[in-house]
Amino acid sequence: MQSQWSPSWYDLRCRRHGHTEAENLPPQDLPRTEASDFNAQLIKVTAKGDIAGTNQILRAMKEENIRPDRYTFSILLSMYARQEDLEGSEKVWAEMARAGISPDHVLYNTFLRLYTKRGDTKKAKHLLATMASAGLRPNNTTYNHLLSMYVSTGQPEQCQRTWKEMLLSPVKIKPKTFDFLLAYYVRLRDTKLVASLWGDLRAAGLAPTVFSYTFLMDLYASLGDLGEVLRVWAALRSQHRPFARSYNILLSLYAKTGDSAAAEALFREFLVLGFTPGLHTYRAMIALYANKEDTQKAEEMWQRLFWSGISPDPLSYQSLFSLYSKTGNTSKAEKLLQEMIQKGIRPSVKSYGYLVDLYAKRGNIQQGIYIHNLIRKDYVWTPDSGAVDYCFIADGLIRLYSSCGDVQRARQVFDDALEEKGLWEEVLWRAVIEAYALHGCGKEALELFERFCEQGGKPDGALFNALLTACNNALLPDKALEYLKRMQEQYGIPPSVGSHNCVVDALGRAGRVEEAEAYAQNMKEKDQTTWRSLLAACRLHGDTERAKRVAQSLLDLLPKDGKEDGPKKVVPSCWMYSGGNVYQFVVGELEHPKMEEIRRKVEELYQRITVAGWVPWRWEKEEEMLENELCGHTDKFAIGFGLLEEEVGAKREIVVFKNVGVCGDCHEAAKWISKVTQCSIKVRDSHRWHHFQDGQCSCQCCNFK
């Protein structure tokens, strides 16, 4: 009867598992020697890892004076190598030497595999030297074991050296060896090593396999090089039938570039060819629609994933969190988070980042604190692990607390990262300086910047822009000029138009309008913001003649058709949080369950601040009409509602969020309201935070006296 065990089967199994020849041969096919019957029994017991049974057979051989042969030692060595039992393997090797049996390639490679799996390069090299002294040159298996060891121990230079040695040897290199090494270089993202290896294809007598092309696509996709990916994709399709993995790589890249037409066409082709979408396929399509902010299609693809019986992974959820963060859909984001918590799936770091960003945009500090606590629970940070992830999260948390009006918590996150976690990253310094700038805390921003420089930090243009913004918002024009000069002379950083605009705005708001105009005239590049800032300063300080010149300069920059560039005008609105709910006030849509109470409260405030000395801004409208209109601005409704809510609470602080800038009248009224009610009022507009306290504002613009 012909054996079912074939040489090709043996070769495949040896290559995959490093097993010896004797172990893979069925008992009836073993060479007939006096030890043959015992070897057949050894194969059965060693396959189970039965040490006791093995020792029993060896004792029986000794009692019958049967000497172990090469196959006996091969079987024993293979068992100990499988168990990674170095001591047992070395005993077999020593016993074989005492028996006078010279190891062949199979025995050497079996023993070598044990050393390479343990990453013991020293002993592996010593064994190679012994092998060479016995007149045996490395064969394909030998080289593969060495390459595997160098890959597992992270030695790409040794991999390359071994590969070049293989090319010069008479060994016939197999495609799987090439693909194994290529996959390693791709994981390293080492384009030079990949190019060198690819150039050796012909010298190795090989042609690229479907794996080779797919690995190469993976490399260029990770580098974001769509052109190279498409070039490799074309070569792959001309020679092989692509794998599902090949399609997924291209789909993922299309998702990143936002090419929905190409991605959808490729997805249809994928289905027509009979491929079944897997997790990576659905994840790529969900990411595509998330990046395009197409909620309907993203959620449809999410449902198809579930209908396929596939359990989504954290990265799949991450794409939806990205979508809901961009679209501001807090309810769906919260529902998704609860789903993950119930299923015991830990959100990825980026998912938490998207949630933090979402609550930062909406100013929801309570939910932000909840997410912060989840992050503390899910991730344990140390200086040696997770530094990049922690910086990503810490940066988001600093911006979250800053956007929600709590600059003290923002600073606590920074201090925790710097002092407790031992992380010193410029991105965190810039984030907290920007937080101080947003809140008009100029002194704190300057102190932190000087500390950054004293500790060896090298500020870049972005950090200086944050510092100049802080100088502007805190009304420190001289400091702005000082740091602008230092930026150029000490660090060689050319100021941007935005940097110069900070100086113009600071000078103008400080009442140095003439100096601000001269500075603006000397700027090499100007934009609309330059003249708008100066025009606002002229209006603030009543400089009518200068305002006419500045207005003309602004008109000269506007498009000839009179339409301004930039985003479309948005409907002014403001919102605030109370009792876990969000209350929004939109111009022209003032609907609220307590609207009558709010109106009465606003009218009461209007009367109180009028008696105290507040006068609404008057231009060309009738006084009564103007006062009625200004009294109805959404800012005042939000503040009035906040005061109604605070009347039953102990905390005297109101926090209001706006999607546009605060108008001059509402700004002035808020100062007077903070004075007559002795209540702290925080308003975040589209530019910065305004902290109103006892008739003063942190922006220091026309303070109440």
**C-alpha–C-alpha distance, residues 163 and 204, integer Å:** 10
Cβ atoms of 486 and 480 closer than 8 Å: no
Angle of helix 314-327 relative to helix 279-291, nearest 10 degrees, comes to 10
User: What is the overall mean pLDDT for the chain?
Assistant: 87
**C-alpha–C-alpha distance, residues 655 and 689, integer Å:** 10
Residue 20 clears pLDDT 80, i.e. is over it: no
Q: Where are the domains of the chain?
A: 7-240, 494-556, 574-697
State the pLDDT at residue 569.
Answer: 67
Region 430-444: mean pLDDT is 95
**C-alpha–C-alpha distance, residues 584 and 211, integer Å:** 56
Residue 8 clears pLDDT 50, i.e. is over it: no
Residues 6+ apart with CB under 8 A from 107: 20, 70, 73, 74, 77, 96
State the pLDDT at residue 617.
Answer: 63
Distances (CA, A) of 366 to 356, 404, 449: 11, 9, 30
Q: How would residue 647 be classed by pLDDT, with cut points 50, 70 and 90? A: low
The more confident residue out of 525 and 647 is 525
State pLDDT tens for residues 552-582.
999 988 875 455 555 556 788 888 888 778 8
Residue 37 clears pLDDT 90, i.e. is over it: no
Region 515-534: mean pLDDT is 94
State pLDDT tens for residues 214-266.
999 999 999 999 999 999 999 999 999 999 999 999 999 999 999 999 999 99
State the pLDDT at residue 593.
Answer: 78
**C-alpha–C-alpha distance, residues 435 and 469, integer Å:** 10
State pLDDT tens for residues 118-156.
889 999 999 899 999 989 999 999 999 999 999 999 999
Q: How would residue 479 be classed by pLDDT, with cut points 50, 70 and 90? A: very high
Q: How would residue 634 be classed by pLDDT, with cut points 50, 70 and 90? A: confident
Sort strands 573-578 and 680-684 into parallel, antiparallel or unpaired: unpaired
Residue 584 clears pLDDT 70, i.e. is over it: yes
3-state secondary structure (DSSP) of residue 17 = helix
**C-alpha–C-alpha distance, residues 323 and 251, integer Å:** 18
Region 181-190: mean pLDDT is 96
pTM comes to 0.77
Region 664-671: mean pLDDT is 86
Cβ atoms of 659 and 574 closer than 8 Å: yes
Q: Regarding the domain delimited by 7-240, which CATH topology (the fold level of the hierarchy) does it fall under?
A: 1.25.40
